[in-house]
Amino acid sequence: MIINYTIYIKKYNKKLMTFSLNTTIIKPDQSNKLNSAIILLHGYGGDGKDISMLTLNWKRFLPNTVFLCPNGHEKCSINPSGFQWFDPSKDDPEYIIEQSLKAEQIIKKYINEAKELYKLNNSQICLSGFSQGCMMSINIGLTSDENFNCVVGFSGKIIDKDNLAKRISSTTKMLLLHGDKDAVVPSSNLLDAKDFLLRNKIEVEINMISDCDHRIPIKASSIALNYLKKNFSI
């Protein structure tokens, strides 16, 4: 079941609960058995509907999971029909750090809304994302008060290693996947991320997808699904 909401509203104890970001929601067929969530963050210029296509392969194997696919809080600077978590087009590292920190707080607020609505804790939530969404997932996975179940990231990188290293407060385990022919976010970033995570004692698995550019092929989606099933004990 796919639901598009400008604002998702549910009555709970006479209180209106809302998502602060426009969200594509893929609910379990039997919502009374919901016990986990995967929050999917799109890439630069994408939207929640784009990234929700991942669930076509995942949903039937994760029958008790709700998939939440929010739009970024800003319109994309180069694609007015898409969204962004921050503007990477400006050649200003300090600006990018500042804007990504702003996005972190917005996404963390969104996660708290999801936890309250679905009565979940961090251990029942996976953060996943593509490209810029992967970058945000890594940052949030390592700077939250409690570990998430896991992070699954596609074609991303560490935004700023020095900044992130000073802010690590959790050890959420990660699976990172990357195409070896990625010209948008070069595949060398995968090995750099692995080195950074291991040095900071974060459990990480990586997979370099051969003959793949800046996209999520079926092979990467299937590897990610197996990792999710293992971590959700399915």
Residue 230, pLDDT above cutoff 60: yes
Residue 177, pLDDT above cutoff 60: yes
Query: Using 50, 70 and 90 to split pLDDT, how confident is the model at 17?
Result: low
CB proximity list for 24: less than 8 A, separation 6 or greater: 2, 3, 4, 5, 47, 48, 49, 52, 68, 69, 70
Residue ranges covered by each domain of the chain: 2-231
Residue 1, pLDDT above cutoff 50: no
The pLDDT tens digits of the residues spanning 134-146 come to 999 999 999 999 9
Q: Which pLDDT does position 5 carry in this prediction? A: 43
- The answer to whether the beta carbons of residues 154 and 131 sit under 8 Å apart is yes
For domain 2-231, give the CATH superfamily: Alpha/Beta hydrolase fold, catalytic domain (3.40.50.1820)
Q: What is the 3-state secondary structure (H, E, C) of 170-220?
A: CCCCEEEEEECCCCCCCCHHHHHHHHHHHHCCCCEEEEEECCCCCCCCHHH
Structure token digits, residue 56: 């076509």
Q: Which residue has the higher pLDDT, 17 or 20?
A: 20
Give the mean model confidence (pLDDT) for residues 203-228: 98
* Cα(113)–Cα(99) distance, integer angstroms: 21
CA 101 to chain centre: 15
Q: Tokens 């990018």 — which residue?
A: 96
Q: Which pLDDT does position 2 carry in this prediction? A: 42
The pLDDT tens digits of the residues spanning 42-78 come to 999 999 999 999 999 999 999 999 999 999 999 998 9
The pLDDT tens digits of the residues spanning 137-174 come to 999 999 999 999 999 999 999 999 999 999 999 999 99
Q: Which pLDDT does position 30 carry in this prediction? A: 76
Burial 138-149 (b: 16+ CB within 10 A, else e): bbbbbbbeebbb
Query: Using 50, 70 and 90 to split pLDDT, how confident is the model at 11?
Result: very low
CA-wise closest residue to 177 among 218, 144, 140? 218
Q: Which residue has the higher pLDDT, 17 or 182?
A: 182
Query: Using 50, 70 and 90 to split pLDDT, how confident is the model at 33?
Result: confident
Q: Which pLDDT does position 233 carry in this prediction? A: 86
- The answer to whether the beta carbons of residues 178 and 187 sit under 8 Å apart is yes
Average pLDDT, the chain: 92
CA-wise closest residue to 113 among 181, 208, 17, 45? 17
CB proximity list for 17: less than 8 A, separation 6 or greater: 9, 10, 11, 113, 116, 117
Q: What angle do CA 33, 39, 41 make, to 5 degrees?
A: 160
Q: Which pLDDT does position 117 carry in this prediction? A: 94
Q: Which pLDDT does position 186 carry in this prediction? A: 98
User: Which amino acid would we find at residue 39?
Assistant: I
Q: pTM of the entire structure? A: 0.92
